[in-house]
Homo-oligomer: A and B are copies of this chain.
Amino acid sequence: METWLAQPDLDEIDVGTVLSALADPTRLQIVRLLDVLGESTCTALDLPVKVSTVSHHVNILRHGGLVSTRLDGNARPSRLRREELERRFPGLLTSVLSATPPRTT
């Protein structure tokens, strides 16, 4: 039986909290990476910040309802709650993840 860290139910998720969570560049990058990797730990994510900072951001993402974290030995891989989020806020995450970069003039 798998164990998971506490996370909000779908209908408890607030759109403002989600927007705040996605507003930080590092967290947006984490979300993008998790979308591609499917699942990853804080250490495995290659980010230009310290691991303690990554852990901090993943916590915010989990409390905001964007990420699920599983307990696997001493590791805690996280996944993007993509399908759930899509049900709660249709089009939001999909739009963010498929957004093209701005024109760099």
Q: Which residues of B contact A14 (CB under 8 A)?
A: 101-102
| Copies of the polypeptide in the assembly | 2
Whole-angstrom CA separation of A102 from B20 in the bound complex = 15
Cβ-neighbour of A16 out of B25, B89, B90, B103 (below 8 A): B25
Chain B residues within an 8 Å CB radius of A92? 91-92, 95-96, 99
A102's nearest neighbour on chain B, judged by CB, is B14
Give complex CA distance A92, B12 in Å: 20
5 closest A-B pairs (Cβ-Cβ)? A91-B91, A23-B23, A15-B99, A92-B95, A11-B103
In the complex, 22 of the A-B residue pairs with CB atoms within 8 angstroms, ordered by the A residue number, are A11-B102, A12-B102, A12-B103, A13-B102, A14-B102, A15-B99, A16-B28, A19-B19, A19-B22, A19-B23, A19-B28, A19-B96, A22-B23, A23-B23, A89-B95, A89-B96, A90-B91, A91-B91, A91-B92, A92-B96, A92-B99, A95-B95
